[in-house]
Each structure stands twice: as C-alpha cells, then as structure tokens.
Amino acid sequence: MKSWMTMLLLISCASLHAQTPASPIAARHEVALTVQRGDCASPGTGDDWKVVKSAWRADGSLEVTLWDSETQTYSVIDDSASVDASVPGALRLFYRTRQSTLPPDAPVFFCEDWVKLTFVIRGLSRAPYQVTVESTQVVRQAGIDG
C-alpha cells in the first residue's frame, strides 16, 4: 500500500511539474547587491537620499541605486539581495537588515551613517519597469543538521 501511494504521489508531482514552467525568476534573473559605507556612501545634497535611481548599463543589466542608513543597532547585510519579477512590468527588490540589541552596560552612540545600495539585475528584457525596493529583517537564524 505504501509503495502504491508513493508511486501515485510521484506521478502526480511529475505531471504537475510538467504543466508548470520553471520559475522565470530563478531561471533568468540574477541580482547582486553592493553596499558602500563611509564617505563614498553620501547621497549628496537635497533630497537625493529619498530617490531610487535606475539606469540601463551597456552590458544590458539594470542598475538600481538608493540610500539607507545604519546605526549602532541597525545594519544592512552585505550580499543579501533577491528579486521578484513575477509580475510583468514590475520588479520587487529585497535586501536584508539586521536589528541587534545592546548589552545593558554598553555605551550608546546616537549616530547614523549613510549606506549606498546598488543592485545590478541581469537577465531582464529592456522594458519599462515599476521598481519597488523593500528591506526585510532577519528575525532568527538556525542551523539544521541533515
């Protein structure tokens, strides 16, 4: 009985897989995130830090630039980008942040530093896109032995 159910499950999964095309995100799109800190990360003057800038590069990739800030307890995680291009004409870019707590006896510094985030997305067709950038926070991490 168990092997019959396993076979039925495998056939069902195989037919479902045959009807569902491979994810276009995983198959075609690659995203890289560069985080610049310090003097290189300054957004300039005015309201530049509020603007998401984008430009097509000569190699056909799309570059998206924006600014965030880091504090003693909030930081951007390097190389943590992902992209969702499942909706035609829309890109959702994600980067991860880390919120940490200070020990009770730690000195507290009230300072904020700019970070410049540059996403480079490869594998897109050149077209107009509505770009949304979202930060996600790591809540907990755990290792699993397998």
- CA distances 66 to 47, 126, 135, Å, are 12, 21, 12
Q: What is the pLDDT of residues 125-146, one digit of tens each?
A: 999 999 999 988 766 777 888 7
| Selection from 73, 54, 60 nearest residue 118 by Cα | 54
- Partners of 30 in beta bridges: 122
How far is residue 91's CA from residue 64's CA, in Å, rounded to a whole number? 11
Residue-wise pLDDT for 24-79, tens only, equals 434 478 999 999 887 767 777 777 778 889 999 999 999 999 998 888 888 898 88
pTM above 0.85, yes or no: no
> How far apart (Å, rounded) are the C-alpha atoms in residues 34 and 63?
11
Place of tokens 């998401």: 52
